Structure 1
Amino acid sequence: MPQLNPNPWFFIMLTSWLTFSLIVQPKLLSFTSANPPSDKSPLTTKTTPWHWPWT
C-alpha cells in the first residue's frame, strides 16, 4: 500500500512545517494588531424577559 510509505510525504511535511515556523510565522507576528484589546469592561445591558400573551 503506497499510502503507508512516508518517504516523500514526510520530507514535504517537515519542509513545509519548518518553512512556516522559521520564515512565515515571524513575519506574520511582527505586524501590529489593527484592533488591540482594550481594558474597558464590557457594557452590560439590562434585558427584560419577553412575556408571551398565550402562555
Structure 2
Amino acid sequence: MPQLNPNPWFFIMLTSWLTFSFIIQPKLLSFLSMNPPSSKAPTTPTTTPWTWPWT
C-alpha cells in the first residue's frame, strides 16, 4: 500500500509547517489590528415577544 509510505509526504508536511512557523506566522503577528476589541461590557438587546394571532 503506497499510502502508508511516509517518505515523500512527511517531508512535505514538515517543510510546510516549518515555513508557516518561521516565515508566515511572524509576518501575520506583526500586523496591528485596525479594530481592537473594546473593554466595554456587552449589552444584550431587548426583545419583545411576538404575538401570534392564532394562539
TM-score greater than 0.5 by the shorter chain: yes
Which structure 2 segments of 5+ residues have no match?
A: none
CA offset at residue 43 of structure 1? 3.2
Measured in 2, the distance between the counterparts of 1:42 and 1:28 equals: 28
Query: Displaced runs of 4+ in structure 1, greater than 6 A?
Result: none
Question: For residue 8 of structure 2, what is the aligned residue in structure 1?
Answer: 8
Q: TM-score, normalised by structure 2?
A: 0.89
Alignment of 1:1-55 (within 5 A): 1-55=1-55
Query: In structure 1, the residue corresponding to 2:12 is in which secondary structure?
Result: helix
Superposition CA RMSD, Å: 1.0
Measured in 1, the distance between the counterparts of 2:10 and 2:45 equals: 53
Taking only the aligned residue pairs, the percentage that are identical comes to 82
CA offset at residue 47 of structure 1? 1.1
